[in-house]
Amino acid sequence: MSEAAYNKGFPVSWEQMHRDARALAWRLLEKGPFKGIVAITRGGLVPAAIIARELDIRLIDTVCVRSYSDKTRGDLEWLKDIKGDGTDMLIIDDLVDTGKTAKAVREKLPHAHFATVYAKPLGREIVDSFVTEVSQDTWIYFPWDMELSVNAPISERVR
């Protein structure tokens, strides 16, 4: 297990996720057509649904892997595999960080187009398309991992 140093936070709202996934769909329009989407669970599920709607794709499959527990990276655990080599398929994940998940899925589906909404420097070369890059020491907080809560006024926080 290893835990990278994440010094910064990048919170993403539902609205921003919708906007960024749609921006990715615009980029993917000229890379297709794709006969189906492979979503990498769980983070790829929401962007895959948005992109499937925008690109009118009805065939959606999954590869199920787990690599992080909280912010600690463990060994890649395969829970569900997929058949084929990825020809004419679009792989969607929420982000690429170290690139280990993307590399493993790419090995299974070498002919697919791999797209993520967000990318960090170590992983960006492994994916074919992404929308927004953040620094390697940034942890991205997704809307499904957050809830509205009350925060203290700034004046109280600097006392």
Ligand X SMILES: O=P(O)(O)OC[C@H]1O[C@H](OP(=O)(O)OP(=O)(O)O)[C@H](O)[C@@H]1O
Ligand Y SMILES: O=c1[nH]c(=O)c2nc[nH]c2[nH]1
Query: Can 97 be counted among the known catalytic residues?
Result: yes
Which of 77, 156 has the CB closer to ligand X? 77
Q: Is 94 annotated as a binding residue?
A: yes
Q: In the chain, what is the greatest distance between 2 CA atoms, to the nearest angstrom? A: 59
**Does residue 144 bind ligand Y (CB under 6 A)?**
no
Give ∠ CA 80-74-126 in degrees, rounded to 5: 70
Instruction: Reduce the DSSP state of residue 28 to 3 states and report it.
Output: helix
Query: Can 94 be counted among the known catalytic residues?
Result: yes
Mask: binding to Mg ion, 24-43, rule CB under 5 A, as x and -?
Answer: -------------------x
The 10 Å Cβ neighbour count of residue 51 is: 24
The 10 Å Cβ neighbour count of residue 114 is: 24
From the list ligand Y, Mg ion, ligand X, none, pick the one residue 139 interacts with, judged by a Cβ distance below 5 to 8 Å according to partner type: ligand Y
Task: Please tell me what DSSP assigns to residue 143.
Answer: G
Q: Regarding beta strands 113-119 and 138-141, do their DSSP bridges make them parallel or antiparallel, or are they unpaired? A: unpaired
From the list ligand X, Mg ion, ligand Y, none, pick the one residue 144 interacts with, judged by a Cβ distance below 5 to 8 Å according to partner type: none
Mask: binding to ligand X, 78-117, rule CB under 6 A, as x and -?
Answer: ---------------xxxxxxxxxx---------------
Q: How many residues bind ligand Y (CB under 6 A)?
A: 6
Distance separating alpha carbons of residues 94 and 141, to the nearest angstrom: 11
Distance separating alpha carbons of residues 143 and 154, to the nearest angstrom: 23
Distance separating alpha carbons of residues 71 and 22, to the nearest angstrom: 27
From the CB of 152, what's the least distance to Mg ion, in Å?
32
From the list ligand X, ligand Y, Mg ion, none, pick the one residue 142 interacts with, judged by a Cβ distance below 5 to 8 Å according to partner type: ligand Y
Specify binding-site residues. Answer: 42-43, 93-101, 139-140
Catalytic residues: 93-94, 97
Specify binding-site residues for guanine. Answer: 97, 140
